[in-house]
Amino acid sequence: MRRIRLNLLPGLEVEFTDRDGALRQVEDWAGEGTRWPIVIFGPEGCGKSAFLRQAAAMLRDLGYDVVYVDPLHRFFAAHTDVDEVVRRLADAASEAFGVAQLKLATLAIDAVRELLARWGRKRVAVLVDEVFQAIGVDKAGIYVKSLLNLIEYPPRSYEGIVAVVATSEGVTRGEIGRHRWAHLTPMWNMAKEGFRQLYDKISRPKPPFEEVWRWTGGNPNLLLELYKRSWSVDAVVKALIRDKELTSSFIAKWRRWLEEAVEDPEALWSPDAPEELIKQLVEKNLIVYNMYYRDPYFWIDQPPPERDPELGIGRNVAWQTPLHREAVRRALREA
């Protein structure tokens, strides 16, 4: 099976690495389509976009016409020989900022509908990345519903429709979870052996693998962040404190609970844990709250372990990565 090449760093292209379980799932989807839109969520930088792009290429090879859009970055890829579809996507992408985002989001669905209705394609896939930030979280439900409509009431008979959406954890899960219009499917950071393969592709000098694993918990984006900051954990943690706005007032307000949570995130599962704090930690993309059962069936690729205190993973609540936890720990110390 073909693996796409990704631009990891300036001057470093790597092949899409590991995630074998996820790739088998794509093959399953290709069999009969997805039946529901699949909405993938998971820690920031865990590899959702890379996976979508890899899936797009695979589905093409498996006989699908594929439309992939990333409205937020005004990017699209159309794996089809219907030039008109490609042209319309290109036109939409070149529109002014703001307009392009909306157009790409709607056009992705329209294009696939047309591939079925007008061009007689039987196997079509629509893969949409970070669409909810582009169209507004309040419209996430409606967007997913229109994907479901496409699957349930297609304009013509078909052999397979694959519809997959990726989103950052936090913003949208509540909005989508309220309806039964999609399968919400989590994806975790890379498993240890797969992550080691990625680590091996970065040239020396670098810290020992075990150390990188303990900080990143297998998150490929943080591997890159550490690399770009000359492996300074300190610098990455400081950047996280700033980006997540772990201000002294935030810390002061929630100190007691945060102190417990850095020891064991599961503390936030207690019925007394303040809902407002949980909401904020989810929105800031620091934790994943309400983790699924670890049956591989519920997950894209391998699920995380049931519990891993070293990486900050609890049964129901987990820090997105150990570095996210470290940012909070350090903010607690300094406030």
Q: What are phi and psi of 94, to 5 degrees?
A: -90, 0
Nearest to 261 by CA among 182, 251, 147: 251
Please count the residues of this chain forming the interface with ligand ATP, following the rule CB under 6 A: 20
Residues 77/103, Cβ–Cβ less than 8 Å: no
According to DSSP, residue 300 is labeled B
According to DSSP, residue 328 is labeled H
DSSP run (H or E) holding 319? strand 317-319
Instruction: Provide the β-strand partners of residue 187.
Output: 300
Judged by beta carbon distances under 5 to 8 A according to partner kind, the member of ligand ATP, Mg ion, none in contact with residue 312 is: none
- Residue 47 interacts with ligand ATP (CB under 6 A)? yes
Judged by beta carbon distances under 5 to 8 A according to partner kind, the member of ligand ATP, Mg ion, none in contact with residue 17 is: ligand ATP
Cα gap 195→95, rounded to integer Å? 38
Which of 133, 146, 149, 221 lies at the binding interface for ligand ATP (CB under 6 A)?
Answer: 221
Question: Identity (one letter) of the amino acid at 176?
Answer: I
Instruction: Write out the DSSP string of 126-141.
Output: EEEESHHHHH-GGGHH
Q: Which residue is nearest to ligand ATP (CB)?
A: 47
Q: Give 53's Cβ-side CA count (13 Å radius).
A: 17
**Cα–Cα distance list, 249 to 154, 177, 253, 284, 335 (Å):** 52, 31, 6, 15, 9
User: What's the min distance (Å) between Cβ of 216 and ligand ATP?
Assistant: 11
Which of 44, 110, 259, 264 lies at the binding interface for ligand ATP (CB under 6 A)?
Answer: 44
User: What's the min distance (Å) between Cβ of 15 and Mg ion?
Assistant: 18
Question: Identity (one letter) of the amino acid at 156?
Answer: R
Judged by beta carbon distances under 5 to 8 A according to partner kind, the member of Mg ion, ligand ATP, none in contact with residue 220 is: ligand ATP
Which of 49, 185, 216, 321 lies at the binding interface for ligand ATP (CB under 6 A)?
Answer: 49
User: What's the min distance (Å) between Cβ of 43 and ligand ATP?
Assistant: 7
Nearest to 171 by CA among 306, 72, 301, 308: 72
| Assigned token pair, 141 | 């439900």
- Residue (225 or 266) nearer to Mg ion, CB: 225
User: What's the min distance (Å) between Cβ of 129 and Mg ion?
Assistant: 6
Write out the residues near Mg ion by the rule CB under 5 A. Answer: 48-49
Judged by beta carbon distances under 5 to 8 A according to partner kind, the member of Mg ion, ligand ATP, none in contact with residue 215 is: none
Query: How many Cβ atoms sit within 10 Å of the Cβ of residue 225?
Result: 18
- Residue (167 or 280) nearer to ligand ATP, CB: 167
- Residue 284 interacts with ligand ATP (CB under 6 A)? no
User: What's the min distance (Å) between Cβ of 167 and Mg ion?
Assistant: 9
**Binding region for ligand ATP (CB under 6 A) out of 47-55, 140-148, 267-275, 316-324:** 47-55
Binding mask 3-42 for ligand ATP (x = CB under 6 A): ---x-x-----x-xxxx-----------------------
For residue 205, whether the previous peptide bond is cis, meaning omega lies within 30 degrees of 0, is yes
User: What's the min distance (Å) between Cβ of 130 and ligand ATP?
Assistant: 6
Residues 126 to 185 in contact with ligand ATP, rule: CB under 6 A: 130, 168
Cα gap 159→122, rounded to integer Å? 5
| Assigned token pair, 127 | 């893969």
User: What's the min distance (Å) between Cβ of 325 and ligand ATP?
Assistant: 17
User: What's the min distance (Å) between Cβ of 82 and ligand ATP?
Assistant: 27
Q: Which residues bind ligand ATP (CB under 6 A)?
A: 6, 8, 14, 16-19, 44-50, 130, 168, 198, 220-221, 224
